Structure 1
Amino acid sequence: MTQSATASAGVQSVDRALTVLAILARCGESGVTDLARELGVHKSTVFRLVATLEAHGMVEQHEERGKYRLGVGVLRLAGSTSARLDVVQEARPITRALAAETGETVNIAILSEQSALYIDQAAGDSALQPHNWVGRRIPLHATSNGKVLLSELDPEELSARVPRLPAYTAATTTSSKRLRDELTQVRELGYAVAVDELEVGLTAVAAPIRDAHGDLVASLSVSGPSFRLESERIEALAPRVVQAATGVSDRLGAASPPRR
């Protein structure tokens, strides 16, 4: 089979798998014979599709009737998307107000595998040509948002999230012990600061956003050029950033932080 033919077959399999999920969403549950009829394929093809989907938790089989229904994997994906949309929606009026007040760029980030994923941004007047961070994944250990998102992980998950600490500048934290010490400080202060750690000339202050259970679900940061965000301004900004992040948490129905 040629490379193009292999690619075409892969796309067709994805299309069929998505169609299976759509059918189960519509019907509630369905057997292999019915799925094969709707797809217009042999039952052996459906068996392979549902076996793969079942292995990933996207479908599950009813033991008594032998029919398939949507699995918990779909619920996890839907829940993750819903939670992300909730954070963006509830944060937006606060981030826009904070950007207007400070003149700097305000970002919202969430933990995504071994990175921080930026999901929303508001630019202040001082950011004449702001870099668009939305959709960008950034290192956890070299950013204020990343350090906030790491700050309440247990040691095992922390090691899994940051197995390596590469240097991006001379100021980047590359020592595991130093990172742990910094995360302790983040928990004590309630915010994180990163000066020239990801890029020389870039400074940011970030604070945690919590959900209705009190769990840390996102981070809110104010960032700008280091020449504007010097130590005195950072000290003045930090309480405001914490206040804004708390405001978003309140809009999400946040409870008190969980005890550790």
Structure 2
Amino acid sequence: MSNELEKDGAAVQSVDRALSVLALLARHGDLGVSELAAELGVHRSTAFRLVMTLEMHDLVEQTADRGKYRLGVGVIRLAGATTARLDVVQESRAIGERLAAAVGETVNVAILDRDEALYVDQMAGPSALQAYNWAGRRVALHATSNGKVLLAHAPAGRLKELAAGPLRSFTERTVTDVRRLGEELDGVRARGYAIAVDELEIGLTAVAAPVFNVEGVVVASMSVSGPTFRLPAERLPEVAGQVMAAAERISSRLGWHGNENGRPLTA
């Protein structure tokens, strides 16, 4: 037991030192291994191992003279992911509130988070009394309209990865057949929106459309959801049009204006 605690303590200490290396490089710019070792109060070999590990993950990189290290592109990617998420939330809030007021139902914004859809914001319409707060919740990609949009525009191979294990059935309406799901995703890309009726929960219907960034990559999905009795089949085309229009406005604010054919670009 004591050996396990010692190993855990050593691992935590290594993580703390690695984070300290990043903080030192952020503060001072370029630093050599000896300088880092002195700042951390550790042996030079320890500092070297920390730097090598961080370099493997592109979090630090050697400078031109190869004698010192600086923050790497991996840090930029991590910061960019956070910035992109904040940009989507900021640019979608006012548009989402107008959409929620117009449709009368709940509007959600979701992003792809590994093999799930992560809801990052929610706006409640006047009909959505005491609405469930989806913000911060992760849901299955194959059983939700937002998830289907994100999966339809995900990099090639994502569906295959998702299908490596059995797809969970939430209701009798959940699509768990991979071939059928693939065909449905083709339809999502073709018509520009996804629908999920009673697939995650019985009595819940949602319609979602993609949000594109300046490079034409889908960075989020916006949906309208509500009780199935308030979103019957005959109303869905109208709601889908409203959702797509709102998503296009957000995409425009993020710098996307479509390619030369006026069609969205996919990842």
Report the Cα distance in structure 1 between the residues aligned to 2:137 and 2:51, rounded to whole angstroms.
33
How far off its partner does 1:153 sit?
Answer: 3.7
The corresponding residue for 1:196 is 198
The code of the aligned residue for 2:136 comes to G
Change (3 A) 1:259 1:207: closer
Question: Aligned to 1:214, which of 216, 221, 225?
Answer: 216
Contact 2:62 2:68 in 1 (8 A): yes
The corresponding residue for 1:53 is 54
The corresponding residue for 1:67 is 68
The CA deviation string for residues 20-46 of structure 1, in whole angstroms up to 9 with x for no partner, is 101111222111111111112222221
The corresponding residue for 1:182 is 184
TM-score (norm 1): 0.93
The corresponding residue for 2:131 is 130
How far off its partner does 1:156 sit?
Answer: 2.1
Report the Cα distance in structure 2 between the residues aligned to 1:99 and 1:189, rounded to whole angstroms.
22
1:36 pairs with 2:37? yes
* Unaligned residue ranges in structure 1 (runs of 5+): none
- Structure 1 window deviating more from structure 2 (196-205 vs 155-164): it is 155-164
The CA deviation string for residues 202-226 of structure 1, in whole angstroms up to 9 with x for no partner, is 1100001111122211100011121
Report the Cα distance in structure 1 between the residues aligned to 2:96 and 2:223, rounded to whole angstroms.
9
Report the Cα distance in structure 2 between the residues aligned to 1:59 and 1:236, rounded to whole angstroms.
50
How far off its partner does 1:233 sit?
Answer: 2.2
Change (3 A) 1:33 1:248: same
Contact 1:113 1:161 in 2 (8 A): no
The code of the aligned residue for 1:258 comes to L
The code of the aligned residue for 1:168 comes to F
Report the Cα distance in structure 2 between the residues aligned to 1:196 and 1:119, rounded to whole angstroms.
22
TM-score (norm 2): 0.91
The corresponding residue for 2:261 is none
Contact 2:216 2:266 in 1 (8 A): no
Aligned pairs, number: 260
Contact 1:140 1:162 in 2 (8 A): no
Question: Aligned to 1:258, which of 255, 260, 265?
Answer: 265
* Superposition map of 1:104-143 within 5 A: 104-143=105-144
Contact 2:163 2:178 in 1 (8 A): no
Report the Cα distance in structure 2 between the residues aligned to 1:82 and 1:135, rounded to whole angstroms.
17
The corresponding residue for 1:12 is 13
Percent identity (aligned): 58
How far off its partner does 1:162 sit?
Answer: 4.3
Contact 2:117 2:140 in 1 (8 A): yes
1:169 pairs with 2:176? no
Report the Cα distance in structure 2 between the residues aligned to 1:125 and 1:10, rounded to whole angstroms.
51
Report the Cα distance in structure 2 between the residues aligned to 1:162 and 1:248, rounded to whole angstroms.
31
1:229 pairs with 2:231? yes
The CA deviation string for residues 153-200 of structure 1, in whole angstroms up to 9 with x for no partner, is 454233124433221111111111111111111122111000111111
Report the Cα distance in structure 1 between the residues aligned to 2:226 and 2:3, rounded to whole angstroms.
50
Contact 2:218 2:266 in 1 (8 A): no
Contact 2:145 2:195 in 1 (8 A): yes
Report the Cα distance in structure 1 between the residues aligned to 2:125 and 2:266, rounded to whole angstroms.
36
Contact 1:106 1:223 in 2 (8 A): yes
How far off its partner does 1:77 sit?
Answer: 0.5
Report the Cα distance in structure 2 between the residues aligned to 1:231 and 1:147, rounded to whole angstroms.
18
How far off its partner does 1:258 sit?
Answer: 2.5
The corresponding residue for 2:90 is 89
